[in-house]
Amino acid sequence: MEMTDKTNNEERRRRMRKSLKFLIFGLLTLGLVFGSTSFAGVIQIDEVSGAWQNAEVFIYDGSEYYFNLLGFPKDGGATISEEFYTYEDQSNLATLYAKITSGPIGTPEPTTMLLLGLGLIGLAGVRRKM
């Protein structure tokens, strides 16, 4: 009896690992809607560590918002995990926690200086032709 239980548990773990690869190794596409503004982004998930990188930014009503995917909640959300398990050929519902923060839209200094420099070059070119 013990051998059968051990074999069943190993088979179950093997199927879970195989299913997990489909979730972790690849891309996760998100679609969010805020009022009349929608946002779609792709989150790249690292194939070695399983960590995701999601510096997704979107603009709504003149403000810049940053979308940061936190993970899957455990124990009602007190603990958040990057892992999610489901059996192969089965469906499973999951909740994802994310943090959305806002900040003003600013023009980076290198861009400002580049625009100023191009304007001065343009003026010098026009003046030279005259």
- The tens digit of pLDDT for each residue in 92-113 reads 777 777 777 776 556 567 777 7
Mean pLDDT for the chain overall: 63
Distances from the Cα of 32 to the Cαs of 18, 40, 111, 116, in angstroms? Answer: 29, 6, 30, 37
List residues bridging with 53 in a β-sheet: 44
Strands 26-34 and 63-74: unpaired
Both tokens assigned to 126? 């026009």
Mean pLDDT of 12-39: 44
Query: For residue range 118-129, what is the model confidence (pLDDT) as tens digits?
Result: 888 888 887 777
pLDDT at 130 over 50: yes
Residue, of 93 and 37, whose pLDDT is higher: 93
Q: What is the pLDDT of residue 10?
A: 61
DSSP tally for the chain: helices H, then strands E: 2, 7
